[in-house]
Amino acid sequence: MFEQCPRRWRFRYVERLPDPPGVPALVGSFAHLVLEALLQEDPADRTPARARTLARARWPEFEADYDYAALGLGEAESREFRWKAWKAVEGLWALEDPAGVEVVATEEKVEATLGGVPFRGVVDRIDEGPDGMVVTDYKSGRPPSLRFAPKRLAQVLLYAAAVAEYMDRMPVKARLLYLGQRVVDTPVTEETLESTVESLASTWVDIGTACAADAFAPRTGPLCNWCPYAANCPEGSADIERRAAERAAQEESLLRMAG
Ligand code: SF4
């Protein structure tokens, strides 16, 4: 978040303004819950039918949770939410057969010091693959284009670095499973881990510098449209308005050309 926009980071982690999860994040959370339970079953029982039973069993508790309740969804919206979550769960079979996965751990809490930075995270899954240990993170959003894949992989590579330190064993692969879509992965090597950890350490230094000077520059751009703090941020609000006006002008000129 700090790399995306230091100002947003300040709102979230210094001012501690609320950032409630929206529907897409919670759909992902529910799918994670079901997949975590599924991968704890015996391999032969990891079937879509079993996943459905697990989803039904976990739904009442999830539905009663504050974050979900805060969405205030009506009956039809709630049905759509469950349908999306089920599509994400079912999407696992499009990528791999869970019955063939040798699970080492699911939802593993890892703590490590990486490049001098204290790091804590929850790894969705650690498997034993044919060539060694694999660190996997589930994703329910859209997979990145080739250009943005390395940035997305940085997070799971940090998990791989933490797992290497925490379990004293080097993983061989880090994967993002975009449920129902595709797998984005990378081999884990000393070099990839080193450069990922260096980048974390450099961001850590930048955070320290920004905190010492209380200087958190806004980094405006298309992501401002999804920023929960846009109303608190004059630069971001102005950028959103400017881009909306540009879009409206483009649409008007296209309409004129078509007319
Ligand atoms: S609105 Fe944009 S510039 Fe402002 S905090 Fe959010 S992301 Fe940063």
Token readout for 28 is 């992902």
> What pLDDT sits at residue 76?
96
233 C-beta closer than 6 A to ligand 1: yes
Does domain 100-210 match CATH 3.10.520.10?
no
Q: How far apart are CA 159 and CA 165, in angstroms?
A: 10
Q: Please answer whether residues 141 and 24 qualify as being in contact, where contact means their C-beta atoms are separated by less than 8 angstroms.
A: yes
The atom of ligand 1 lying closest to the CA of 228 is: 6
Q: What is the pLDDT along the chain (259 residues), one digit of tens a residue?
A: 999 999 999 999 999 999 988 999 999 999 999 999 999 999 999 999 999 999 999 999 999 999 999 999 999 999 999 999 999 999 999 999 999 999 999 999 999 999 999 999 999 999 999 999 999 999 988 999 988 899 899 999 999 999 999 899 999 999 999 999 999 999 999 999 999 999 999 999 999 999 999 999 999 999 999 999 999 999 999 999 999 999 999 998 888 888 7
Amino acid at 88: A
| Site of tokens 């992965």 | 185
Token readout for 31 is 């799918």
Beta strands in the chain (DSSP E): 103-114, 117-129, 132-139, 173-178, 182-187
5 C-beta closer than 6 A to ligand 1: yes
Domain boundaries, the chain: 6-98, 100-210, 222-252
7 C-beta closer than 6 A to ligand 1: yes
Residues 6+ apart with CB under 8 A from 148: none
Global pTM value: 0.87
What separation in Å is there between the alpha carbon of 165 and the centre of ligand 1? 35
223 C-beta closer than 6 A to ligand 1: yes
CA distances from 111 to 37, 107, 226, 233, 240 (A): 23, 13, 30, 34, 38
12 C-beta closer than 6 A to ligand 1: no
